[in-house]
Chain A
Amino acid sequence: MEIEENFLYTKEHEWVSIEDNIATMGITDYAQEALGDVTYVELPEEGAEVEQFEEFVSVESVKAASDIFAPMAGKVLEVNRKLEDDPAWINKDCYGKGWIARIEVRDMDESTNLMSAEEYRNYLESLEH
């Protein structure tokens, strides 16, 4: 299972990469593997305000529909429109071209509610037992 070292993670298997006050987010390798072929992504409205851990994206795979939660509170600055026609980018490159949204972070302290790569790795191991 691939984990990006410098990213932060949620228990719901979202990743976030924070630069300045912009958080780019997506779902982890574990999540895309569990979902299987992603066939549809309902992206949030650009400009929408979201709270930390609020559901704000819906992802469908051949198997099922799943809710995706905002890893940080703030304003949705940009969404990955490429996913509208080719949601399989989430399977092919979940930490890169399969990013979902960029959020202008409202409160940087909220990052303490997230896991480091090391903590997320341990968390995944604990799920297997």
Chain B
Amino acid sequence: MTVETSLYNTPLADEHVALGAKMVSFGGWNMPLQYESIATEWEYNRKAVSLFDCSHMGEFMIKGDAKACGLDSIVMQAISDMPLNSCRYGAMLNDLGGVIDDLIVYRKGLRDWMIVVNAANIEKNARHFRAHLNSSAQFEDASFKTAKLDVQGPQSRDALKFLAPGIEKLTYYTFDQFQINGISCLISRTGYTGELGYEIYCPWEKAKEIWKTILNNATVKPTGLGVRDVLRVEMCYSLYGHELEETISPLEAGLDKFIDEKKDFIGCQSVSAHPPGKVIGYFISASRRSPRAGHKIFDTSGNEIGGVTSGTFSFGLQLGIGIGFMIPDANKVGMGVLFGDEKNKTAATVAKRPFYKKGSLKS
């Protein structure tokens, strides 16, 4: 296997190939799908600690007063009240109230922000920020000079405490600057797996050294995007392109609690003016048969009530699990539904999020 050149490569692409990873294209990037079996990588993450290369994700650096420079009206979540060194999840919307992207805002200083966005949306998002920030803001797209390594799993703190002394003090959704091998890194206690975990932001050219240093600890195993998708569906975390789209409102996507209702932000009037149609719901298959994106959802009489946006096999539940959009009347915890197509339907039950309840996220 050779390193693909028509796609973007992270600074770790040849490390992945050397480790025997199966590589796939994801959001325009050449990324590791898996190094071992996905079941094995699931065990590494849920029982010990695993390492993901997430350098494909985008990082924007913005300097300016949140309200005065326009940043506060671009994102739907409250940010002016954020403590220093904290993170906050949310999204930015278009004029029609649809989700342009979901994102995490990091407050590095009173007027110093980092915004982390999805890889496939970097260019579109940068255009949106440039169009809506005013001249008092400084905007930099640092995506191609900032690598991101995710250390996730119940033993992630133990794996990092000697490499990044002081990391124990980080509470959920906070961050700080640390030195790993003398390299300055921003490390936040955040992640996409439902386990205790950290995201390490470091200079692009130093990523290989940090990757190798972390893997020197034999308890840490590299894991790919294949298991990452299983882990995030088990936690009912939305993924842009599946549960989030420019045509889906944050209310439909179940992001209500991340909206600051007291402020005026782009798209807010459209969101409040249009009551949601189909809303996001979560369901567990009655068997190992798994729902797939594109499947339809039916009520138990066979009437179509929605569609599946993500589905996979849950290694935690040993059953199929799915996320989809359904008409609200049929989308209540405990209700029976069917997924599949006109010919082949499988029984499932609408469930409470998350599917996987044993995660070490807040331990």
Distance between Cα atoms of A5 and B82 in the complex (Å): 66
What 10 A-B pairs have minimum CB-CB distances, sorted nearest first?
A39-B313, A40-B288, A37-B38, A62-B38, A40-B289, A37-B39, A37-B37, A62-B313, A60-B290, A39-B288
A40 and B313 in contact, given A60-B290, A87-B288 (Cβ under 8 angstroms): yes
Contact A60 B38 (CB under 8 A): no
Residues of B within 8 A of A62 (CB): 38, 226, 230, 312-313
Contact A60 B313 (CB under 8 A): yes
A: which residues have CB within 8 A of B? 36-37, 39-40, 42, 60, 62-65, 87-88, 91
From 267 to 321 in chain B, residues with beta carbon under 8 angstroms from any chain A beta carbon are 287-290, 292, 312-313, 320
Closest to B230 in A: A62
- In the assembled complex, the CB of A115 is this many whole angstroms from the nearest CB of chain B, namely 26
Could you say which of A36, A65, A88, A91 contacts B292, with CB atoms under 8 Å apart?
Answer: A65
Q: List 27 A-B contacts (CB under 8 A).
A: A36-B34, A36-B37, A36-B38, A37-B37, A37-B38, A37-B39, A39-B288, A39-B290, A39-B313, A39-B320, A40-B287, A40-B288, A40-B289, A40-B320, A42-B289, A60-B288, A60-B289, A62-B38, A62-B226, A62-B230, A62-B312, A63-B226, A64-B292, A65-B290, A65-B292, A87-B288, A88-B37
Distance between Cα atoms of A88 and B230 in the complex (Å): 17
Distance between Cα atoms of A36 and B38 in the complex (Å): 8
Interface residues on chain B, size class: 10 to 19
Distance between Cα atoms of A64 and B312 in the complex (Å): 9
- In the assembled complex, the CB of A112 is this many whole angstroms from the nearest CB of chain B, namely 33
Closest to B34 in A: A36
- In the assembled complex, the CB of B229 is this many whole angstroms from the nearest CB of chain A, namely 8
- In the assembled complex, the CB of A48 is this many whole angstroms from the nearest CB of chain B, namely 17
Residues of A within 8 A of B230 (CB): 62
Residues of A within 8 A of B312 (CB): 62
Distance between Cα atoms of A40 and B288 in the complex (Å): 6
Distance between Cα atoms of A62 and B37 in the complex (Å): 10
For the complex with contacts A36-B37, A36-B38, 6 further pairs of A-B residues with Cβ separation under 8 Å are A37-B39, A39-B313, A40-B289, A60-B288, A60-B289, A87-B288
Residues of B within 8 A of A40 (CB): 287-290, 313, 320
Interface string of B65-82 (1 = CB under 8 A from A): 000000000000000000
Residues of B within 8 A of A91 (CB): 37
Residues of B within 8 A of A88 (CB): 37, 39
- In the assembled complex, the CB of A45 is this many whole angstroms from the nearest CB of chain B, namely 15
Distance between Cα atoms of A62 and B289 in the complex (Å): 10
Distance between Cα atoms of A60 and B321 in the complex (Å): 13
Distance between Cα atoms of A42 and B230 in the complex (Å): 21
Closest to B320 in A: A40
Residues of A within 8 A of B292 (CB): 64-65
Residues of B within 8 A of A39 (CB): 288, 290, 313, 320
Residues of B within 8 A of A60 (CB): 288-290, 313
Distance between Cα atoms of A87 and B318 in the complex (Å): 11
Distance between Cα atoms of A87 and B288 in the complex (Å): 10
- In the assembled complex, the CB of A33 is this many whole angstroms from the nearest CB of chain B, namely 9
Closest to A62 in B: B38
Distance between Cα atoms of A37 and B36 in the complex (Å): 10
Contact B288 A36 (CB under 8 A): no
Distance between Cα atoms of A42 and B344 in the complex (Å): 12
Distance between Cα atoms of A37 and B287 in the complex (Å): 17
Interface string of B327-339 (1 = CB under 8 A from A): 0000000000000
Residues of A within 8 A of B289 (CB): 40, 42, 60
- In the assembled complex, the CB of B47 is this many whole angstroms from the nearest CB of chain A, namely 17
- In the assembled complex, the CB of A57 is this many whole angstroms from the nearest CB of chain B, namely 13
- In the assembled complex, the CB of B293 is this many whole angstroms from the nearest CB of chain A, namely 11
Distance between Cα atoms of A36 and B33 in the complex (Å): 11
Residues of A within 8 A of B290 (CB): 39-40, 60, 65
